[in-house]
Every structure is written in structure tokens, then in C-alpha cells.
Amino acid sequence: MIEKYAGKNNSKYKIFITNKIIPSIELNKYINKTSKVLIITDSGIPKKYIKALKVKIKNARVYLHTIPQGEASKSFKIFQEIIKKLIRLNFSRTDIIIAFGGGVVGDISGFAASSFLRGIDYIQIPTTLLSQVDSSVGGKTAINIPEGKNLVGAFYNPRAVFISTRFLKTLSEEEYKSGLGEVIKYSLIDNEKLRTLLQSNTTKILNRDNKILLKIIEESIKTKSKIVTKDEKESGIRAILNFGHTFGHAIEAHTNYKKISHGAAITLGMIIASKISLYEGLIKDHQLDNIINLIDSLGLDTNYSKYKFSELKKYIFNDKKVADGKLNLILINQKFKAFKTDQFDQNNIRKAFK
């Protein structure tokens, strides 16, 4: 088992990475025996995993709340349902939520935990590769509204995060590759070791080899934890974690979060941001080719020609990264270091879509 940390000072929390089902002893260290526990999961989680989790919790008062699978569940409606259930169960500040599922479950569970009674504890048990390397770490919680993705939320850290590669074996090909998109992101913004791992182990990664999964998850979390620890509230360097997200979120919003997975959208967003980096003279042609080849070698789509700038423009400029009327982009340089800037030629955005 690998143990990592995220956060700093009083907000520091442990991240456990294992190839086994969640370890009972470590899990129960974070649950008071007299507390009530609400497991929030979604309709896509196999019942055998839910049953296994319930057995591991040494507590008689364990309740379950299941939400519909999919991005549409990150809504005010589902959020209200969770809050009402907590009220019906008479939850107090000594009780705890367990988010057991992918990024949607983790995001809305964390937001509910942050809001109910002005904050109760929660634990993240992410079951998808995307949520394991990204949304479960860093304390971002949110729901979507029609005007955009994650526009309502809070920074609120979990007590702990438990990651098991065992859950990845049952993921669909689409879900798995969605997670690989975020792994690729970490390799492009500041982790050469991870980039080498991805380039050298394509077949093992596609076959979901357990040893390589543990390595790429650990390296991804190392990258995110290092950045988040420096900037928990996204006032500075943490913004580089949004590489590809401005355009990826626009694609998601344009398709009403239904026709493309989050990871697939972010992957296309990274290619767009990389092209803008090329047109800005920040990277070379061969580096852009290498980025596209790496993405392609892992079986992810690299063609975004069906998305037009004119269709995405309203979402791009309604992004959370607009400040003082200026759009901030995350671009990369020749050393694969990402940075935030509002100093770029806006014509290069249009050019990237041609």
C-alpha cells in the first residue's frame, strides 16, 4: 500500500493507494463507531462492491443513497435530495459521508458535506481512473448549472482518500480512457517521469496491468498534490491543473454533458491548448506531434474538427478562468511546463479550430 499526502497544515489528509479492496483497519480509523454513515454512490457501481464496503465499516448505522449515473446528476436537484436525506436521518456534525463512485459522486458528495450544517466530514473512495487521479484529490467540490460546468461549489478537503486499482477492472473502455486523458495531462504539465512511463508502457496501460496502474496513479497524484499543497484555493499555480479544461469544458457544455466523456473532452482541449502554444511560439512542431502521437497511442480521440469556435465561444468566455474581462489560458512551453497567461493573440484560438 502506498500512502501520500495532500493539503497542508490543518487541511492535510492521507491518500491510500492499493491493489486490494479498501483496507478495513485504515478506513475505520476515520469513522467514529457512534457516528452515522451515509454512503453516496451511483447506479453504475456493482452491488458486490457496495456490499463489500458496508461489511468493512464497523458501524451499525450505515445508510445508502444512490444517484443516477452520469454528469447530469451534478445538479441542484440531486444536491437537494442528498441534503433532505441527511435531514431525515438526523445527521449531525459528528456523522460522516462516504463518496463511493466516480467524479460525479465525489464532487456532489463533497459539496453536500461542505454545505450541510456548514460542514461535516466525508471520505473519498473513487472508483474510476479519472476520479482517482483527479477529482478525489485537491478538495474541489461542485455541481453544474446550465450556464457552465462546476460554477457552483466549494473548496472542501476530505478526511482521507482510498484508491484501489481493483475497481478499474470493471470500467468500460470509454470510462477507462476518460481517466487516461487526465493522466496524460499530468505528464504534459510537469512530470517527465510520468510522460516516460506512458510512452514506454502503452500496451500494459491499455491492458490495465496492475503494476503500471499503481505507478501512473502514484505519479499523477504526486503531481497534483505538489501543486495543490502550494495553492489550495486556486489563486496561483494550481490553475495549471486546468490545462485543456477551458476548451474541454466548453465542448462538454455544448454537448449538454451527454455526448462526450469528461476525459475525452479534456483530451481534445489539451490538443487545442497545445496548438495555441505552438502558434504563440512556445513549443515546436515536433513537440505538438509528440503530444498528439502519445494521445493517439493510448487510444484516445484526437479529432475535434466537428466542434466549431463559433459554437463554443460563449462557453469559453463564460469560463471560471475569465478575470477582469480577460480570458486566462493555460499554455505549455518547450520544457513541458504549464503556466497561466492572458497575454496571447486571441486570433490563435480561432486558428486552432481551423
Contact call for residues 244 and 277 (beta carbons, < 8 A): no
Q: What integer is the mean pLDDT of 81-100?
A: 97
pLDDT tens-place string over residues 148-192: 778 899 999 999 999 999 999 989 999 999 999 999 999 999 899
The SS3 call for residue 166 is helix
pLDDT tens-place string over residues 247-274: 999 999 899 877 888 889 999 999 999 9
pTM over 0.85: yes
**CATH, domain 173-352, list 3.40.1500.10, 3.20.20.70, 1.20.1090.10, 3.40.50.300:** 1.20.1090.10
Query: What's residue 171's pLDDT?
Result: 92
Q: For 2-170, which CATH class?
A: alpha beta
Contact call for residues 266 and 244 (beta carbons, < 8 A): yes
What gap in Å lies between CA 5 and CA 11, rounded to an integer?
10
Query: What's residue 21's pLDDT?
Result: 85
DSSP state at residue 70:
S
As a whole number, the mean pLDDT across the chain is: 92
Q: What are the residue boundaries of the structural domains of the chain, listed by start?
A: 2-170, 173-352
Query: What's residue 8's pLDDT?
Result: 66
DSSP state at residue 75:
S
What gap in Å lies between CA 236 and CA 253, rounded to an integer?
25
Domains 2-170 and 173-352 share a fold: no
